[in-house]
Structure 1
Amino acid sequence: MSGSQRTLFQTWASSLGQGPPGTAENRPPVDPGEDSDDDLMLVAVYEAERGLPADGDFPDLDASSAQVWIYPMNYPLREYQLKISEAALAQNTLVVLPTGLGKTFIASVVMYNFYRWYPFGKVVFMAPTKPLVAQQIEACYRVMGIPQSHMAELTGSTAAGRRRDVWRTRRVFFLTPQVLVNDLSRNSCPAELVKCVVIDEAHKALGNHAYCQVIRQLGSHTQQFRVLALSATPGGDLKSVQAVVSNLLISHVELRWEDSPDVQAHCHQRSVEKLVVPLGDQLSAHRDRYLQVLEKFMSRLVQNRVLAHKDLQSLTKYQLILARDQFRKNPPPHIKGAQQGALEGDFALCISLYHGYELLTQMGLRSLFCYIQGVMDGSRGQSMSRARSELQRTPCFMDLYRDLEAMFVQPSADEAFLYSHPKLKKLEEVVLQHFRTWTDPEGDLDTRVMIFSSFRESVQEISSMLNRHAPLVRAMAFMGQASAGRGVRGFTQKEQLEVVRGFRRGGFNTLVSTCVGEEGLDIGEVDLIVCFDAQKNPTRLVQRMGRTGRRRRGRIVVILAEGREERTYNQSQNNKRSVFKSISSDRSSLHLVPSGPPMLPPGLQPALHQMTITCGHFDPQGPGRSAARPRRGPLRPLPALRPHHAADRRHEGRA
């Protein structure tokens, strides 16, 4: 079946604004014509709204609408999207699809059909952050044209009473999982009416994440709902993937990689380059001084036999945390009373110091200084007061701290930029070379670069370094919302979206981002991705790499410090290949959840109906959008790095 016409909702949605389908009166008759499949569709909708009886076990189902499922033809047909959409209608499905290949498109198709089949039902789209929620409501509208008056974007800032009213009057909801958990707990959300749940960035559904809480709470009210989970990569290892499958009640997996036969034609080539940078003499000397500080406090743990002696350079923060947990569960018999508390303090101090060690080796001296300055001036919180007292009594630490303070607190205004890590100079070379030599066979002179770094201090440092080369490089920092009262503020939801729009439109050509830019947001076409640090979890690296190669060839450069960071990256790549191979070659490696109650009566197999959906204009301020927050002033590139003071601190590690 195929055809072309305005969306069904545009034809008869005016009657729906007054109440649920089936209550409208005096609807004009429809003449089906001779051989028009689309007109027959309209007749079916008209009859369904008049209240045709449904199957007794499916009282909310519109049996006439469920005779078909609709697939849009206003986009080029991709067979893998069609196949995945059909599978997701029938089973709880995890869709693993590389970034840029249309996960949101598939979600829109599935949501639309459950919206049609269950006229009184609710459809939910969850995303982990508010900017993603705001982006997806518009994206879904542009695919299937569900009226804005039937959709709602819910945030925690919306009053609980108001959210209860919205749940009663709207049909399709876009929100974060935390909001849905709260509304389910308050019985604001009519859980028994939820028929379809879409979960974006589904790899987050681990442990007691809000995604897991939503599925558990829904399951306590009803078993009859469909789950569609979306991710570019399902997890860092097979155990994590299995947890996602179990937590989201997944009974079917649709898996595609860049080299899958049915998606290869839609993937643009991406080159990946690994650049390994030696620490250099200056940074190595400061590293050795910092290791002396670590040795002083680590030796106390070793002497008390609560930590096995290890090479300080190979020890990790995670290993320290495991050792502390073991100490708490089974303290040695010779450790008593106050001594146990003192060793707890030593563990906490060593874990904090090892975080600084990672900053030193991966990000550089400036990031290390900003971190330990936060400890010393008290802006990192009262929990660090013991660490501060201990460090103040440690001469080798105080000597290092004063030297770093001389470097970064009062630099001369005309002093040359201080490259606090050799990786910064390499990053600068890569970016400048890209802009100076950019040519595009399609004749598009505009090119954009995206740089990822995990820590805010590093993001600010990179932005300041690159903006010295304006107007060739026009860099903007991009980060999440900061904790209250902690220095350089982050961006609100509206400001994050404004940055993304400015980047897509060419207001600036380089985006320097924390992890907030890794997932979901439609950044636009990016020709060069630079990863300034390695990620232990291959999920994050895959998300970063997915930002390029969407519409034309892309390049990815990973800049690594020689030693531990290089080893971390190699291990991450091995983990990724292992997970992909395990799932692709042997689906029995995953224990899928048995299919729950069917969403359609036995024997009812909806026929495919392909049609062109003509969507109207999306109003960003239209019905269903959350109230806009007040702006905090225009966004501008970060100024040059300036002296740090206690009143201007922030939490560097937050995204």
Structure 2
Amino acid sequence: MVIAVYEAEKSLQLDNANSFQHDNPVATESTSFSDSPSSGQTYPDFPGFDSSSAKVWIYPTNYPIRGYQMKISEAALFQNTLVCLPTGLGKTFIASVVMYNFYRWYPAGKIVFMAPTKPLVAQQIEACYKVMGIPQAHMAELTGSTAAKQRQEVWKTKRVFFLTPQVMVNDLSRETCPAKQIKCVVIDEAHKALGNHAYCQVIKQLSSQTLQFRILALSATPGGDAKSVQSVISNLLISHIELRSDESPDIQAHSHQRSVDKVVVPLGEALTAHQARYLQVLEKFMSRLVQNRVMGHKDLRTLSKYQLILARDQFRKNPPPNIKSPQQGMLEGDFALCISLYHGYELLMQMGLRSLFFYIQGIMDGSREMSRARNELQRTPIFMDLYREMEAMFVKPSAGSGPQEVSTRVMIFSSFRESVQEIAAMLNRHAPLIRVMTFMGQASAGKGVKGFTQKEQLEVVHRFRHGGFNTLVSTCVGEEGLDIGEVDLIVCFDAQKNPIRLVQRMGRTGRKRQGRIVVILAEGREERTYNQSQSNKRSVYKSIIGNKSRFHMFP
């Protein structure tokens, strides 16, 4: 490939640029050349720009050529582009093409690829290396675990960097990252660029020093609503959007059908009875907050954990004048207890009784370190009756397993760690037919179920892909980006308010063959949440495709 480029550029210097067409015999099998829109022109004085290599841009033909990828790549070379492509359709491929061309056009320039977590950074390096022939000696992975002094050296000597945005922010503010030499910035999972996210800080700091760099932002979903899409556009200086949805004709040939089944589960008599008893417990502790006028009286069935947290913040900012400080501490404790109990209520309603039991067991056996809550609950007979009944029901079953090859692969998502463990325990009873692994994000210290370090996360992904396991039960950490391999069936154990989360989950199937998605919803609120999230997603896509003028683009 390098030779092909060299020869092409040599022939360019002899020829007039305009006579250089696609069918030039010099282009080898792995490379094809496209005239850049500006052939034959003189270029403005871009610092560090090599006008001889700029007569062409290069697109690899060592992979099957897909029209949409080529079209998006070309657009992304000449404008700051937000690329929204369903998962599995080659966003990284497009990024590699753009990075490679900037690598050629700016022989001394630097190129940055950012992804939100270390495991994603590691995955993207490998993917980019496969697509484009940037010598490995010119590439570097920078993480927070590399000493700052050492990073300074790497910034000087290498040209293509893969890193998390936090590291980039740190190095920009230390002035070890040479901002003016950066010519191309790729941002993966770009929908995260909201508020004061590290992505936004990087672009702010870079653009305060230079505007001579190209931005390419990648995401499977641009945002949960039009407002957040606009924020991403503004924060990442986007001037052009390339959006494809599952319905787009140019990608249909390349994506496999995915059927989505919605299963609505009624609570049933037993759970309804437990719900009523649990609400009585909640009522008891909530009524103290209501009596002290720090919480309005709400129907407990429609209350949300978020409303409780808002009320507590309000109470902290301006406590009622009649409440003295010892009593303030009491109420603070009541808020904490109600928020915990309400979390339990959500578990009961979405996941069932066993999840509720494991959560509460953590409070009662002291592993959650909530001694005040435990003492209060122990003094509440109606609660203790319920707890003892659950205890009698859920004595842990033992599980055996033995590996064997099965081709079906299943991924199950649930938002709560307790529920992930419970689902895994239930499925383990069906070993060796079902061979289960669990997958969770990094834990906050000390509470409940222990999380996985990033190293363990990569290990799980590797073992699931190669180790004879056929079922992965995951919290939301499995939604984003990590290439878990081909999955045939996805079960969503709970609905997501945010359409981004659901799209990410669905993106785990239908990459190489047909996939099926089953969403299990509790009757009532959870079902409404799901329907709302689906219509949000449709309206965001509609507003981008049908009404681009609605968004303010960066010039």
Change (3 A) 1:31 1:92: closer
Match runs of 1:357-368 below 5 Å: 357-368=345-356
Structure-2 change in CA distance of 1:387 and 1:591 (3 Å): farther
1:30 Cα deviation from its structure 2 partner: 12
Aligned to 1:545: 506
Report Cα offsets for 1:142-188 as digits up to 9, x if no partner: 11121111111122122222222111111111111122122222222
Could you tell me whether the CA contact under 8 Å between 2:13 and 2:52 is conserved in 1?
Answer: no
Q: 1:31 to 1:580 in 2, by over 3 A?
A: closer
Q: How does 1:139-288 map to 2 (within 5 A)?
A: 139-288=127-276
Aligned: 1:455 with 2:416: yes
- Counterpart of 2:391 (choices 405, 409, 419) is 405
Q: Tell me the secondary structure at the aligned position of residue 86 of structure 1.
A: helix
Written as runs of structure 1 = structure 2, the 5 A alignment for 1:504-543 is 504-505=465-466, 507-543=468-504
* Equivalent in the alignment of 1:390: 376
Deviating more after overlay: 248-257 vs 277-286:
277-286
Give the match for residue 63 of structure 1.
51
Cα gap change, 1:349/1:491 in structure 2, threshold over 3 Å: closer, same or farther?
A: closer
What is the Cα deviation at residue 258 of structure 1? 0.9
Deviation at residue 353 of structure 1 after TM alignment:
1.6
Corresponding residue for 1:373? 361
Larger relative contact order (CA 8 Å, sep ≥ 6): 1
Equivalent residue for 1:137, pick from 120, 125, 129 = 125
Percent identical among aligned pairs is: 77
Q: 1:56 & 1:576 partners in 2: Cα distance?
A: 42
Q: 1:160 to 1:285 in 2, by over 3 A?
A: same
Q: Judging changes above 3 Å, is the alpha-carbon distance between structure 1 residues 76 and 209 closer, same or farther for their aligned structure 2 residues?
A: same
Change (3 A) 1:173 1:454: same
Alignment root-mean-square deviation, CA: 3.1
2:545 to 569, 584, 588: 584
Q: Distance in 1 between matches of 2:472 and 2:533?
A: 25
Question: Per the alignment, in what secondary structure is the counterpart of residue 250 of structure 2?
Answer: coil
Counterpart residue number, 1:348: 336
C-alpha separation in 1, matches of 2:536 and 2:236 = 23
Show the 5 A alignment for 1:568-579: 568-579=529-540
Alpha carbons of structure 1 residues 244 and 286: separation in structure 2 relative to 1, 3 Å: same
Read off the aligned partner of 2:70 and give its amino acid letter.
L
Q: Which amino acid aligns with 1:396?
A: I
Residue 464 of structure 1 corresponds to which residue in structure 2?
425
Q: Any conservation in 2 of the 1:124–1:197 contact (CA below 8 Å)?
A: yes
Deviations along 1:67-110, one digit per CA (max 9) or x if unpaired, are 21111111121121111111111121111111111111111111
Paired AA for residue 235 in structure 2: N
Q: Give the distance between the partners of 1:66 and 1:342, measured in 2 at CA.
A: 70
Residues 9, 145 of structure 1: 8 Å contact kept:
no
CA–CA distance in structure 1, aligned partners of residues 328 and 72 of structure 2: 56
Question: Which deviates further from its counterpart, 541-550 or 61-70?
Answer: 61-70
User: Alpha carbons of 1:9 and 1:364: their partners in 2 closer, same or farther (altered >3 Å)?
Assistant: farther
Does structure 2 retain, via aligned residues, the 8 Å contact 1:533–1:558? yes
Residues 313-341 of structure 1: per-residue CA shift (max 9 Å, x gap): 11111122233334445555555555444
2 CA distance for matches of 1:507 and 1:413? 21
Q: Can you give the 5+ residue segments of structure 1 that lack an aligned partner in the other structure?
A: 1-5, 13-27, 45-53, 417-443, 595-655
Q: CA distance change for structure 1 residues 492 and 64 in 2, over 3 Å: closer, same or farther? A: same
Q: 8 Å contact 1:130–1:493 — kept in the other structure?
A: yes
Q: What code does the residue aligned with 1:173 have?
A: F
d(CA) in 2 for partners of 1:124 and 1:226?
10
Contact 1:9 1:147 in 2 (8 A): no
Q: Give yes or no for the alignment of 1:119 onto 2:104.
A: no
Alignment gaps of 5+ in structure 2? 34-41
CA distance in 1, matches of 2:92, 2:334: 48
Deviation string for 1:7-65 (max 9, x for gaps)? 459989xxxxxxxxxxxxxxx999999964449xx9x9xxxxxxxxx978322111211
Letter paired with 1:448: R
User: Do the aligned partners of 1:10 and 1:147 also contact (CA within 8 Å) in 2?
Assistant: no
Correspondence for 2:298 = 310
Provide the secondary structure at the position in 2 that maps to 1:145. coil
User: Conserved in 2, the CA contact under 8 Å of 1:268 and 1:553?
Assistant: yes
Distance change >3 Å, CA 499–CA 341, structure 1 → 2: closer
Corresponding position: 1:479 with 2:440: yes
- Partner SS, residue 536 of structure 1: coil
- Aligned match of 1:105: 93
Q: CA deviation at 1:237?
A: 1.4
Q: After the TM superposition, which of the residue ranges 169-178 and 472-481 deviates more from structure 2?
A: 472-481
Once the two structures are superposed, the pairs formed by residues 594-633 of structure 1 within 5 Å of their partners are: 594=555
Distance 1:293 1:205 in 2: 41
CA distance in 1, matches of 2:327, 2:26: 81
The answer to which of 75-84 and 341-350 deviates more is 341-350
CA contact (8 A) 2:487 2:508 kept: yes
Question: Normalized against structure 1, the TM-score is what?
Answer: 0.75
